[in-house]
């Protein structure tokens, strides 16, 4: 769930955001509907936005009984401590880790690798997969695969890879890139960006070899029901918690 000013939003290719509802109400709904985990990303982490987001994390923690990850505006250990104290199970770092990779080591050493998710927003360009900063606004020279390997080596417990090319398009995940990440890294890979049909989730697991698949709009707008999706995946031979 992308959260902006206390409201869940969703866009296409990281732009054209539209409202998707109250994040605490959605969290309760997804928890009851059978989601395994939730991810909340504060996409406007200004000082005031950070306070609003922290309050939301506290309310979510008191409402649901499944693990959830939070990210956005995490630059130092005090930010991690604040969100874990509010009730989050894991934190996701992205731009701040690209700018200062040592942040991953610091989080892993202080709180354990299981707390640290390294989120990577990447776009496939003519010169390969490039990582982006600030919610997909700024291209960097870092390549997806070498940065993912470094993040894992520094202590990240999971990689959350979002393909900007596929985000919100609903034509399937970036399975070739996911498969390579899975082959090259020993930590779990979470697929993000591109879900539009149950078959896309299936392919993310069978072709992309991902350990988890994240989706937003197909759930927010009722296009896919979680329990129906889980039943379909189980019938496709994928081990999944029903």
Catalytic positions are: 2, 121
How many C-beta atoms surround the C-beta of residue 124 within 10 A?
Answer: 16
Q: Checking phi first, is residue 24 left (phi over 0); if not, alpha (psi -120 to 50) or beta?
A: alpha
SS3 for 158?
Answer: strand
Distances (CA, A) of 142 to 118, 233, 235: 14, 34, 39
Using the Cα atoms of residue 83, residue 193, residue 237 and residue 176 in order, give the sign of their dihedral: negative
The tally of CA atoms less than 13 A away on the side-chain side of residue 238 is 25
Furthest-apart CA atoms within the chain: distance in Å: 46
Beta bridge partners of 158: 117
Separation of alpha carbons 66 and 74, rounded Å:
22
Separation of alpha carbons 21 and 230, rounded Å:
24
């Amino acid at each position: 769930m992308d959260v902006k000013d206390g409201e869940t939003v969703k866009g296409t290719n990281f732009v054209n955001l539209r409202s998707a509802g109250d994040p605490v109400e959605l969290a309760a709904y997804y928890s009851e509907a059978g989601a395994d985990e939730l991810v909340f990303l504060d996409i406007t982490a200004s000082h005031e936005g950070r306070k609003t987001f922290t309050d939301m994390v506290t309310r979510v923690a008191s409402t649901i009984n499944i693990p959830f990850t939070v990210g956005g505006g995490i630059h130092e250990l005090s930010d991690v401590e604040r969100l874990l104290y509010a009730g989050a199970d894991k934190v996701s770092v992205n731009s701040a880790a690209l700018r200062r990779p040592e942040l991953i080591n610091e989080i892993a050493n202080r709180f354990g690798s299981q707390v640290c998710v390294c989120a990577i927003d990447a776009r496939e360009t003519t010169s390969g997969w490039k990582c982006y900063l600030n919610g997909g606004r700024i291209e960097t020279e870092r390549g997806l695969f070498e940065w993912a390997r470094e993040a894992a080596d520094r202590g990240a417990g999971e990689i959350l890879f979002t393909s900007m090319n596929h985000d919100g398009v609903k034509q399937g995940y970036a399975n070739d890139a996911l498969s390579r990440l899975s082959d090259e890294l020993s930590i779990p890979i979470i697929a993000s960006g591109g879900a539009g049909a149950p078959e896309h989730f299936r392919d993310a697991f069978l072709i992309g070899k991902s350990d988890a698949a994240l989706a937003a709009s197909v759930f927010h707008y009722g296009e896919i029901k979680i329990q129906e999706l889980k039943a379909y995946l189980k019938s496709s031979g994928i081990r999944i918690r029903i």
